Amino acid sequence: MDPRSFISVIIPALNEEAAIGRVIAAIPDFVGDIVVVDNGSTDATARVARDAGARVVTEPRRGYGAACLAGIGATRNADVVVFMDGDYSDHPEEIARLVEPILRDEADLVVGSRVLGNAERGSLTVPQRFGNALACRLLRLLFGVSYTDLGPFRAVRRRCLDRLEMDDLDYGWTVQMQARAARRGLAACEVAVSYRRRIGRSKISGTIRGVVGAGTKIIATLLREFVAARMRRSTRSEDCLVIMARAPISGRAKTRLVPLLGEQGAARLHRQMVSMTLEAARRLASVRDVEVRVCTTGAAPSVLRREFASPFPCRDQGGGALGSRLRRVAREALDSGAPHVVIVGTDCPLLTDGHLDRAFAALRHFDVVLGPASDGGYYLIGARDMHPLLFEGIPWRGKDVFARTREAAHSLGLRVHTLEPLPDVDVPGDLAAWARSRLVGADETPRLSVVVPARNEEAHLAATLGSILDCDRVEVIVVDGESTDRTAEIARAFGAVVVRSKPSRGGQLNAGAAVARAPFLLFVHADTLLPARYFVTVRSVLGRSGTAAGAFDLRLDGPGFGLRAVELGVRVRSRVFGRPYGDQAPFMSASTFRECGGFPPWASMEDFEILARLRRAGRIRIADAFVLASARRWLEKGVLKTTLRNQWRILCHRTGVRPVDA
């Protein structure tokens, strides 16, 4: 647990004298503050809570939400806020499960799911289970987010909690939080938690009136939030974030990486870094009122918006040198009424919403904010007024852009705030610095090992490795199947462990798994991009009881009705029949992999065989996230021909004809 993070626990309580002392005693020592909100108790709840070491806040207004709001008001200094019931039905010792994804910056909201975990017999009534299932189905239908539970045991990042502006005073509190988190674009996940029979009688599920009232309130809250989301203005906000992005066109993007990655590889890596920057902007917009503009060059703005399915408006940067373009976009933002503008590029893959948020916060006290980059330039510049001289007389291709800009600001009498330096990725040597910041060292244990079988994949591998590095504390193993191009060189440039193997995909996958050190394994093809924050998804899926393995949904990176039909077929096959294939990046625990005997050492159909074995060990679940795979094989031979060839291979496999080992 990160000792620098301050965690507060809020416990709404109404006549919980028999349970509240046991709840407080079971809360781990790393929790810095325990707040019990007495919601009008007529017994000794408040006294018992104080004697047990908690702070007690009184909220005379009856209602679960009212009590939670009172607790929030008493926890101003918290980094993470945990909510739990005071009836001893939750397990306080499991608080670490809830807060760890937030402390690792993998989620903003973590809901403890009693459905995924171990619920004691009789602890969840039939009406509760039905109401949970109905509300979760409505959440998915109305807001596009997947939950299995509305459990009150949950953790949320404090600054994100403030942005939710919670106001429900009663039973709709939990579902309102999940709906508003979806509206704000917060990163949310579920973790499995235990649940036991409560001490005493429930105020809701213990009476027919309570069940009907809670159910009506929850449905009404969801509908109200949906209507509010539709009516909410999606226009500009107070501050303005400008992203300077170049279209990922082969031969025009990341040209200094071309000697190592080739034109296609450099363009694909650039595309991945633009995606990371857009994701940081999306997360910022979920916690701060900010208008995001994407200013493009290299192609029409509509091309980039379509390429990335960007939710933000795209416009052209205009012509001229970099200084002229920066001055132009800054003036446009400030002239349109934004009090603060922050401009970033897409060269720093470690740029997060936290850096952006700190930049805007600094502009409340400083005139200019700068984020220095490792090459002597800057990855971010922000201002609260227009200062043209900041962009004039700067040697933009030199190594002292940051220093010269800071000197210019001081000469104008401006107060400058400097953010932490970040590595940017412009030349081959920059890849190693990026990789070192994400990968584990030889003396550390990774939390996930990602195995990438590859053969002559120099055009695709860099982008795949870039997507893998979205997760930190990861081990990357590239198994090179006797490539004749720069596949192995690219893998080493990214800090990956390179293993040599014969070019048989099943054998390559086994060779990678044999040297993996993490408790979990993920297998991804060298031309496939993993989704943002994929480790949160992996852990959530594997945390569900009865799960043997998981995989992602599949999207192909080409246009056309045929490819969309393929995606639909894959979705039906994997979700309805539980039969994902290897191009969907399967993942499992290392122990499960060993128990099922690993992959057969075949050149093809190795995924079909191992997943058949895994189905006998448990359920294979499909995550609510997708990998983006190259459509090249479908496009080279045609969708219909490729589909028929795949079905022929499956038929041969089912009739006992095994692929020839390569």
Residue 29 neighbours by CB distance under 10 Å: 6
Would you give the DSSP letter of residue 210?
A: H
Q: Cα separation of 103 and 100, whole Å? A: 5
Does the residue 45 lie in any domain?
A: yes
Residue type (1 letter), 354: G
**Domain identity same for 316 and 215:** no
Last residue in a domain, options 213, 231, 249: 231
Structure confidence by residue, pLDDT tens digits, 355-401: 999 999 999 899 999 999 988 999 999 999 888 889 888 888 888 99
pLDDT of residue 299: 86
Residues with Cβ within 8 Å of 15's Cβ and at least 6 positions away in sequence, in order, are 41, 42, 43, 45, 200
**Domain identity same for 193 and 316:** no
Q: Total structural domains in the chain?
A: 3
- Count the residues in the chain: 662
**Domain identity same for 260 and 223:** no
Does the residue 428 lie in any domain?
A: no
Give the residue carrying structure tokens 């409560």: 198
Q: Cα separation of 341 and 359, whole Å? A: 10
Mean pLDDT throughout 11-20? 95
Element (H, E) at 12: strand 7-13
- 43 — pLDDT class (breaks 50, 70, 90): very high
Does the residue 189 lie in any domain?
A: yes
**Domain identity same for 481 and 356:** no
Domain that holds residue 325: 239-418
Residue 253 pLDDT more than 70? yes
Mean pLDDT of the chain: 89
Structure confidence by residue, pLDDT tens digits, 398-441: 889 999 999 999 999 999 999 999 999 999 989 988 888 888 87
Structure confidence by residue, pLDDT tens digits, 186-222: 778 999 999 999 887 765 554 455 556 667 888 888 8
Structure confidence by residue, pLDDT tens digits, 636-656: 888 888 888 888 877 887 777
Residue 593 pLDDT more than 90? yes
**Domain identity same for 74 and 180:** yes
pLDDT of residue 232: 53
Residue 233 pLDDT more than 50? no
Label the pairing between strands 109-113 and 154-157: antiparallel
Question: Residue 587 belongs to a domain with what CATH number?
Answer: 3.90.550.10
Using CA atoms, how far residue 579 sits from 550, 609, 622, in Å, is 10, 11, 9
**Domain identity same for 371 and 501:** no
pLDDT of residue 450: 97
pLDDT of residue 552: 96
pLDDT of residue 127: 81
Query: If you write DSSP's letter for every residue of 118-164 in order, what string do you get?
Result: -BPTTSS-HHHHHHHHHHHHHHHHHH----S---S-EEEEHHHHHHH
Structure confidence by residue, pLDDT tens digits, 313-339: 899 988 888 888 998 999 888 888 889
Residues with Cβ within 8 Å of 319's Cβ and at least 6 positions away in sequence, in order, are 325
Last residue in a domain, options 167, 201, 231: 231
Q: Are 626 and 553 in contact (CB under 8 A)?
A: yes
**Domain identity same for 168 and 78:** yes
Residue 661 pLDDT more than 60? no
- The tokens for 263 are 């034109």
Does the residue 431 lie in any domain?
A: no
Does the residue 429 lie in any domain?
A: no
Q: Cα separation of 652 and 499, whole Å? A: 31
Last residue in a domain, options 231, 250, 265: 231
Characterise 592 by phi-psi region: left (phi > 0), alpha (psi -120 to 50), beta (else): alpha
**Domain identity same for 506 and 536:** yes
**347: helix, coil or strand?**
coil
**Domain identity same for 225 and 329:** no
Strands (E), 161-249: 188-192, 239-246
**Domain identity same for 80 and 148:** yes
Query: If you write DSSP's letter for every residue of 506-554 in order, what string do you get?
Result: HHHHHHHHHH--SSEEEE--TTEEPPTTHHHHHHHHHTSTTEEEEEEEE
